[in-house]
């Protein structure tokens, strides 16, 4: 991909498309830059029936700079997700490993751009750096401290259909990385809404985030203008500067280890590495409660 140089001489992987440069570690810049098209937002991919950029949700009629739950139709319908500083409120949802969707004010809302219910849509605001890890390929670290509950970045890419997600995974070579995230939202009617996002060819800084069985980020589906959710990543705890940013690829916030994790490459380990005939990749996150293998979504493959 083409890259840009920011004012400090660092390489900006976003080519100026983000409000702050997405830097690549100087010692890593000598490596071949990852081949992909940078996009801060989701884009319509093969099989997608709804354009992610299309405004399809209703807006509020608030005239204030920031909405309040007493009068705002958005907050009254969907609840208040952030405090006045834009910090995610319902962090207790992480204890169950699942989360509820968030609805932000959108382009049809008459409130101001500084409304506290406009967070993820403002885009990247933190200094992040892509770097080369010892044994997990590329990774992302923060150049500044991040308080608990702060929006960090989006996991943006092509929004594709189930059939296309399956086709891509079945044609993927073993040595290739799988970037597809499948989000399943369970409605009160018993129906399940599925969204598949693949940033392999088109994506943002989120595509470089590594998995960890004890991550410091949590993923929350957020709807802004469209019914297609944005996959927003928030700080699950206070994060220090220079710390690597990670999330659980399975979508939860705690990936529990096996009851008896095998310490050697025994028959048990071999069986665990294969699920329904599919080879699972080893996890090298280094967490104390590492599950030993990266999450594998068989529903896309079967």
Least confidently predicted of 95-109, 116-130, 145-159: 95-109
8 A C-beta contact, residue 27 and residue 61: no
Stretch 56-65: mean pLDDT, rounded? 95
Instruction: Give the pair of three-digit tokens for residue 81.
Output: 């997700």
pLDDT, tens digit, for every residue of 67-120? Answer: 999 999 999 999 999 999 999 998 765 455 567 789 999 999 999 999 999 999
Residues 6+ apart with CB under 8 A from 263: none
- Give the pairing type, strands 128-132 and 138-142: antiparallel
pLDDT, tens digit, for every residue of 174-184? Answer: 888 889 999 98
Q: Across the chain, what does the average pLDDT equal?
A: 86
Which of the pair, 26 or 132, is modelled with greater confidence?
132
62: confidence class by pLDDT, cuts 50, 70, 90: very high
Which DSSP letter does residue 239 get?
B
Which DSSP letter does residue 78 get?
H
Instruction: Give the pair of three-digit tokens for residue 62.
Output: 């608030």
8 A C-beta contact, residue 205 and residue 140: yes
3: confidence class by pLDDT, cuts 50, 70, 90: low
Q: Hey, CA dihedral for 22, 25, 134, 141, is it positive or negative?
A: negative
Which of the pair, 191 or 29, is modelled with greater confidence?
191
User: Can you tell me the distance from the alpha carbon of 16 to that of 14, in angstroms, rounded to the nearest whole number?
Assistant: 5
Using DSSP, state whether 93 is helix, strand or coil: helix
- Give the pairing type, strands 210-211 and 244-247: parallel
Instruction: Give the pair of three-digit tokens for residue 297.
Output: 């979504």
Q: b/e string for 237-275 if b means 16 or more Cβ within 10 A?
A: eebeeeebbbbbbbbbbbbeeeeeeeeeeeeebeebbee
How many other CB atoms sit within 10 Å of the CB of residue 220? 23
> Does the pLDDT value for residue 7 go beyond 80?
no
Record the pTM: 0.87
Task: Of 163, 152, 112, 145, give the one whose Cα is nearest residue 240.
Answer: 145
> Does the pLDDT value for residue 166 go beyond 90?
yes
pLDDT at 15: 94
pLDDT at 199: 98
Q: How far apart are the first and last CA of the chain?
A: 34
Domain 4-258 classification at class level: mainly beta
28: confidence class by pLDDT, cuts 50, 70, 90: low
């Amino acid at each position: 991909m083409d890259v840009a140089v920011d004012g400090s001489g660092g390489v900006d992987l976003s080519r100026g498309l983000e409000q702050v440069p997405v830097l690549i570690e100087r010692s890593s810049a000598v490596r071949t830059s990852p081949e992909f098209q940078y996009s801060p937002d989701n884009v319509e991919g093969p099989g997608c029936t709804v354009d992610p950029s299309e405004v399809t949700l209703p807006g509020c009629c608030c005239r204030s700079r920031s909405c309040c739950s007493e009068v705002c139709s958005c907050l009254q319908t969907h609840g208040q997700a952030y405090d006045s500083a834009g910090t995610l409120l319902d962090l207790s949802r992480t204890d169950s490993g699942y989360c509820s969707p968030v609805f932000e004010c959108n382009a049809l809302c008459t409130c101001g751009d500084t409304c506290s219910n406009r967070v993820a849509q403002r885009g990247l605001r933190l200094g992040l750096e892509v770097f080369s890890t010892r044994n997990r390929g590329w990774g992302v670290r923060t150049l500044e401290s991040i308080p608990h509950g702060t929006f960090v970045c989006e996991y943006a890419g092509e929004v594709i259909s189930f059939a296309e997600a399956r086709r891509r995974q079945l044609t993927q070579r073993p040595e290739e990385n799988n970037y597809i995230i499948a989000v399943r939202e369970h409605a009160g009617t018993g129906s399940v809404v599925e969204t598949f996002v693949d940033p392999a060819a088109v994506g943002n800084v989120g595509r470089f985030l590594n998995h960890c069985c004890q991550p410091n980020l949590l993923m929350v589906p957020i709807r802004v203008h469209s019914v297609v959710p944005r996959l927003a990543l928030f700080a699950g705890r206070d994060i220090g500067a220079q710390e690597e940013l990670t999330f659980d690829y399975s979508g939860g916030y705690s990936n529990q280890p096996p009851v008896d994790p095998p310490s050697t490459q025994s028959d048990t380990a071999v069986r665990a590495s294969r699920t329904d005939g599919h080879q699972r990749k080893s996890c090298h996150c280094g967490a104390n409660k590492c599950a030993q293998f990266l999450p594998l979504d068989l529903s896309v493959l079967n």
